[in-house]
Amino acid sequence: MKPQFDLASLVRKNILSLKPYSSARDEFSGSEGIFLDANENPFGTYNRYPDPRQKALKKALSELKDMPQEQIFIGNGSDEVIDLIFRVFGNPGTDSVIICPPTYGMYEVSANINDIRVIPIPLRDDFQLDIDAILERIRKDESVKLVFVCSPNNPTGNTLRDIDAILDNFNGIVVIDEAYIDFCPESSHLADLRQYPNLIVMQTFSKAWALAGARVGIAYAQPEIIALLNKTKPPYNVSKLNQEAALKALSKKKTTQYRIATILEQKKILAEKLPTLSFVKKVYPSDANFLLVEMENADAVYTHLIEKKVITRNRSSQVKNCIRITVGSPKENRILMNELKKMEQ
């Protein structure tokens, strides 16, 4: 049986006892008055510090996701959220994290930056989790504080099954990175937050919301975990411009829905057309906005495309002979297909 979850025992002692910085906007959060408290410049448009708690954005997200605001954290992209999770829970030099490659590279880099040992438990050949190996490691190795999974997974594109088996048997922190979830909303684990106090679900405005340039990432978790992330983050981690951009995107849900539908339609067309090329061996099924494509010679295809100014991602070092192709606009995808067809001649 799963032992009792004890959040305090998972948190680094220095973070537990940390007295966070109290910013001017924390101490006075009203919007009316003459502001002479934060050494800001009285002139200009972006002269004021942003809301350190991103209240307006959290309110809008709370309504969209039916999630209490205390369970929402906003980061400077989800890359900041990944780093904060390691800083809150990982004791440098002693704790470890399980990751399941091939997967998003920042889990490992961020762990390395924070001196957290990385235990790779590769996905099986079908790109699903090796649950038995993960559970065995968790059982035997007390240094494992965190498990990171990505679903839909980058770069394979598939949704991971059986994450519940980890949640049911592990009392450390389980992070599910749902960066691509809006392309496949039925697979979200947000509802599991009611059941699992050790779960953190990450999402982002960078993909379906088309705001990679703005840097707005999200974490959903129990209020106690959100409070720890809040006290560890830099005071003004999400700029006013970023918060405004995210709010604007949320107010234009129809545009986002239309874009998602277009991307999904284009993905379907690409997934049908790519296998007609003689050098394409396999197009992996994808629940995201990209396709992992196995080629006869991925390096040659990748280089040819670069020469034609079509930039894809060569993922051969992660999955043999594979290129990851992001689904572009209809025109971009047509150009991609034309350039690939030329390789057959």
Taking the CA atoms of residue 112, residue 117, residue 120 and residue 121 in that order, the dihedral angle to the nearest 10 degrees is -150
**Tokens of residue 321, six digits:** 């002979």
- Using the structure block, give the residue that is written with the tokens 């990432």: 217
Cβ distance to ligand PMP smaller for residue 204 or 314: 204
CB of 176 to ligand PMP, least distance (A): 10
Q: Give the CB-nearest residue to ligand PMP.
A: 77
Packing angle of the helix pair 223-232, 78-89 (nearest 10 deg): 100
Cβ distance to ligand PMP smaller for residue 145 or 315: 315
- In the chain, beta strands by DSSP E: 72-75, 96-99, 117-120, 144-150, 173-177, 199-204, 217-220, 280-283, 290-295, 313-314, 322-326
CB of 217 to ligand PMP, least distance (A): 4
Cβ distance to ligand PMP smaller for residue 277 or 327: 327
CB of 37 to ligand PMP, least distance (A): 32
Cβ distance to ligand PMP smaller for residue 121 or 340: 121
Cβ distance to ligand PMP smaller for residue 179 or 283: 179
Sites of contact with ligand PMP (CB under 6 A): 77-79, 104, 150, 154, 177, 179, 204, 206, 212, 217
Q: Please report the DSSP string for 141-206 in residue order.
A: -TTEEEEEEESS-TTT-PPPP-HHHHHHH--SEEEEE-TTGGGSGGG--GGGGGT-TTEEEEEESS
**Tokens of residue 59, six digits:** 């309110």
Question: Residue 197: is the preceding peptide bond cis (ω within 30°)?
Answer: no
Q: Please report the DSSP string for 285-313 in residue order.
A: --SSSEEEEEESSHHHHHHHHHHTT---E
Helix or strand or coil: residue 219?
A: strand
CB of 286 to ligand PMP, least distance (A): 13
Q: Which residues pair with 118 in a beta bridge?
A: 97
CB of 61 to ligand PMP, least distance (A): 14
CB of 124 to ligand PMP, least distance (A): 19
DSSP letter at 274 equals G
Cβ distance to ligand PMP smaller for residue 76 or 198: 76
Cβ distance to ligand PMP smaller for residue 275 or 285: 285
CB of 186 to ligand PMP, least distance (A): 18
CB of 104 to ligand PMP, least distance (A): 4
Cβ distance to ligand PMP smaller for residue 288 or 298: 288
CB of 79 to ligand PMP, least distance (A): 4
Q: Which of 285, 264, 103 is nearest to 183 (CA)?
A: 264
Cβ distance to ligand PMP smaller for residue 154 or 171: 154
Q: Which of 286, 281, 252, 280 is nearest to 268 (CA)?
A: 286
